Amino acid sequence: ASAQEKTKTYIIGTDITFAPFEYKDADGEYKGIDVDLLDAIAIDQGFNYELRPLGFSAALQALETNQVDGMIAGMSITPERQESFDFSDPYFESGVVMAVSADNNEIASYEDLEGKTVAIKVGTTGADFAKSIQEEYGFRVNTFEDSANMYEDVQTGNSDAAFEDYPVMAYAIQSGLKLKIPTDPEPGDNYGFAVNKGQNTELLEMFNNGLINIRANGTYDEILDSYLGETA
Ligand code: GLN
């Protein structure tokens, strides 16, 4: 990238509560796999950025309207999104999964959702998946702006199930959330860093180059290990 590109401060949109990818720690600082990967890549490539935790659907809108330059938010690379955005190389494998309250012994499959209420997070692949099976299995949906409120609705029993990314749901449960995962995740999902289509191509290129470098020098593995442990 040119000297001018490198002195520019890129504004990067992200989610608000999506541990272990981005979340506020006890000091009010944003941390997580996405935050650390972006930081390591920015250092490697020598660019400046400012992180904006906007929430997932708000970040999508901000990216679409060029109010942010890029987005990293556990964002799945999908064919529909590829019509509006350009994605980096994939940096993490994921998949949508169903979760129910830890003491729920009634829902063990999608069939058991008949007549039930499902919590979804607006704009996500989890919401898209739930809607794609809604008619077949006959459930209602409650829509939420963020993951924390979506989980809360299931914990309190207002919703019977939620659809969320598997690594995020598993991490929340491991951290004490009283939900459980009765079914296998839907496969074939990958996270990517995104820019608006045809915009900030130098930023996308730096992200991809930096990702290659931090994979090669061990930083990528160190970051993943620090949030997910050696088994990740
Ligand atoms: N991976 C999901 C998606 O891209 C959820 C992302 C999120 O909620 N931050 O839609």
Listed in order, the ranges of the chain carrying CATH 3.40.190.10 are 3-93+190-228, 96-180
Q: What is the mean pLDDT of the chain?
A: 96
**For residue 232, what is the enclosing H or E element?**
none
How far, CA to CA in Å, does 54 sit from each of 20, 57, 59? 17, 8, 5
Residue 56 alpha carbon to ligand 1 centre in Å: 7
The answer, yes or no, to whether the previous bond of 90 is cis (omega within 30 of 0) is no
Residue 74 alpha carbon to ligand 1 centre in Å: 5
Q: Is the CB of 121 under 6 A from ligand 1?
A: yes
pLDDT surpassing 60 at residue 232: no
Check: CB of residue 35 under 8 Å from CB of residue 14. yes
User: Among the atoms of ligand 1, which is closest to the Cα of residue 124?
Assistant: 10
Residue type, 22: E
Residue 1 alpha carbon to ligand 1 centre in Å: 30
Strands 161-165 and 117-121 come out as: parallel
- ipTM over 0.85? The verdict is yes
pLDDT surpassing 70 at residue 2: no
pLDDT surpassing 60 at residue 231: no
pLDDT (tens digit per residue) in 144-159: 999 999 999 999 999 9
Residue 125 alpha carbon to ligand 1 centre in Å: 6
Q: Is the CB of 57 under 6 A from ligand 1?
A: no
Residue 226 phi, psi (nearest 5): -65, -25
Fold of 96-180: D-Maltodextrin-Binding Protein; domain 2 (3.40.190)
Per-residue confidence at 7, pLDDT binned at 50, 70, 90?
confident
* Pair of tokens at residue 29: 């600082």
Q: Is the CB of 125 under 6 A from ligand 1?
A: yes
- Is the CATH number 3.40.718.10 carried by domain 3-93+190-228? no
pLDDT surpassing 80 at residue 53: yes
Residue 100 alpha carbon to ligand 1 centre in Å: 19
Q: Is the CB of 146 under 6 A from ligand 1?
A: no
pLDDT (tens digit per residue) in 196-229: 999 999 999 999 999 999 999 999 999 999 999 8
Give the residue, 92 or 6, on which the prediction is more confident: 92
